[in-house]
Structures are given as structure tokens and as C-alpha cells.
């Protein structure tokens, strides 16, 4: 998979050299190139931003450098990914979708964002996906690209050692994962649940399914709202797990309160 990333802070992408993403690059599964947007400027100050039409605070990224960058980087296979708080929320399904592509170009915006015409023009030549990490605003798209790359790269065949660990985790099944434990069996007065040490694989699997459903009901009732896929091996949302009680979970979740 070929990845091009365009940013005015290319050093922000240095972590892509590390860990399993770095290894995927050295083994040829992934080819990542990072470009400085200012390479496609021609004025003496290498300007990438200007004031917004219509007024308002902040600056907007000028279209010309982005146009030249995409002219140079686009291939017939390319898909453009633009991190944006106005994008589609990133999900495991979208990560799978991106992992099936052969060439991704990431455009990292800064300031108040990129001139809309860059995305509109690019969309006439290639698929364009605006992707959000959640309902908050960052200084720019660089860290979002690191997150998206991590979610995508681990799905590429050959990047992870154990293919089973891919399907048995939170969000692949559509529900949160059961809690995990390792040795020692007792630590600071806290014991590993006896059933996990019983060797009874049927009862262990049933316990994990029940834990997965009760945790999901308590912490992420939104994941159960549409009913469970048959593959999660579970009961329908209405009969499985705990009710989504207000304050019942560790975190406050929108929609977890009492219905009005």
C-alpha cells in the first residue's frame, strides 16, 4: 500500500518510522512518503494561508499549493483522505475500507481548514473522504493521520503476527471486549476470575460473551441500539446484559440517561 502525506509540519509524522508501522515499511508492505506543502509554493514567503472570504477569525489554506501537490501525487488508483472535524466519524468499518485501497493521499489541514475548492476539484478526479476522529478540534490533521494510519496499517495482511487477535477484539465484533487478565493469579489482593483458570473453554467463552454485552450496555449503549450482529454470538440488545442505567458506567455516554 502506497501512502502520501502532505503537511506544513512533516516532522509531526516522524512516529510513522516507529514500531509496527515502521517495520511494515521496511518489509515493503507499506510505502509512506511525507511531503512539505510549502514545496508547492513559489512566493518568497512560501505562503500557504490567507484571510477567509466573508470575514471571521483565523486563516484558510490557499488552494494553489494544494492543487499543485495533488496534481503531482495523484495516480489512477489514488483516494484522498482529509482529516476534519466535519468529516465522517472514523470506525473500524472505515479502517477496513481504507485498508483495501492501494494508494491513499492524506491532506493535513491547519488553521481554519483548506479552501473548499481543493476538495471539490479533487473529488472530480478521485474519491475523497473527510474523516473525523470525534467531536473535538485539533490544531491540524497531522495527529489524526497518525491515528488513521495506525487503525489501517494493522489490518494489512502480514503486519500483525496473529490474525486471530484481529477478530477477537473490541469493535471488530461490534461490542466491547471482555476484561483480560494475565499472571499472577492474585495481585494486591485482587484475584483473576476463577472461571478463567478453570480450563472449561465452553464456560469461559460464555462468560466472555456475557461480560462483553454487560460492559457494552453500561459503557456504550449506542453500540447496542441497532441490535447485535449474529456474529457477536449474543442476545438481542433488549434481552442481553445490563440496562443502560444513568451513571451506571465508568464514563458518561450521550444517550445513556433516562429517556425524556
Q: Please give the residue ranges that form the binding site for ligand JAH (CB under 6 A).
A: 83-85, 109-110, 113, 132-134, 137-138, 140-141, 144
Question: Please, what is the minimum distance in Å from the beta carbon of residue 11 to ligand JAH?
Answer: 17
Residue 56: CB minimum distance to ligand JAH, A? 14
Smallest distance from the beta carbon of 13 to ligand JAH, in angstroms? 14
Q: Which is nearer to ligand JAH, 134 or 229 (CB)?
A: 134
Report, in Å, the least distance between residue 249 CB and ligand JAH: 23
Nearer to ligand JAH, 132 or 214 (CB): 132
* Least CB distance to ligand JAH at residue 133 (A): 4
- Residue 229's CB is within 10 A of a number of other CB atoms, namely 11
CB contact set of 32 (below 8 Å; sequence gap of 6+): 3, 5, 13, 16, 21, 25, 149
- Closer residue to ligand JAH in complex, CB, 141/234: 141
Which is closer to ligand JAH, CB of 133 or CB of 217?
133
Nearest distance in Å: CB 89, ligand JAH: 8
Nearer to ligand JAH, 15 or 185 (CB): 15
Comparing CB distances to ligand JAH, the nearer of 49 and 210 is 49
Calpha distance 111→138 (Å, rounded): 10
Residue nearest to ligand JAH (CB): 109
Amino acid at each position: 500500500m502506497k501512502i502520501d502525506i502532505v503537511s506544513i509540519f512533516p516532522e509531526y509524522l516522524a512516529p510513522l518510522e516507529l514500531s509496527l508501522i515502521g517495520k511494515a515499511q521496511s518489509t515493503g508492505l507499506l510505502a509512506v512518503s511525507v511531503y512539505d506543502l510549502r514545496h508547492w509554493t513559489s512566493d518568497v514567503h512560501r505562503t500557504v494561508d490567507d484571510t477567509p472570504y466573508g470575514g471571521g477569525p483565523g486563516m484558510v489554506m490557499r488552494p494553489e499549493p494544494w492543487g499543485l501537490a495533488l496534481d503531482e501525487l495523484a495516480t489512477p488508483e489514488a483516494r484522498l483522505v482529509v482529516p476534519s472535524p466535519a468529516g465522517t466519524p472514523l470506525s473500524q468499518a472505515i479502517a477496513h475500507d481504507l485498508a483495501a485501497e492501494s494508494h491513499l493521499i492524506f491532506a493535513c489541514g491547519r488553521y481554519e481548514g483548506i479552501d473548499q475548492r481543493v476538495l471539490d476539484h479533487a473529488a472530480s478526479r478521485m474519491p475523497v473522504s473527510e474523516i473525523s476522529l470525534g467531536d473535538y478540534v485539533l490544531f491540524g490533521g497531522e495527529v489524526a493521520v497518525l491515528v488513521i494510519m495506525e487503525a489501517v496499517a494493522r489490518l494489512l495482511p502480514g503486519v500483525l503476527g496473529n490474525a486471530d487477535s484481529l477478530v477477537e477484539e473490541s469493535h471488530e465484533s461490534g461490542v466491547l471486549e471482555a476484561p483480560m487478565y494475565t499472571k499472577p493469579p492474585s495481585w494486591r489482593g485482587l484475584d483473576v476470575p476463577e472461571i478463567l483458570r478453570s480450563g472449561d473453554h465452553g464456560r469461559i467463552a460464555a462468560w466472555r460473551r456475557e461480560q462483553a454485552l454487560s460492559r457494552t450496555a453500561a459503557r456504550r449503549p449506542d453500540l447496542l441500539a441497532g441490535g447485535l450482529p449474529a456474529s457477536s454470538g449474543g442476545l438481542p440488545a433488549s434481552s442481553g446484559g445490563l440496562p443502560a442505567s444513568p451513571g451506571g458506567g465508568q464514563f458518561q455516554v450521550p444517550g445513556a440517561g433516562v429517556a425524556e
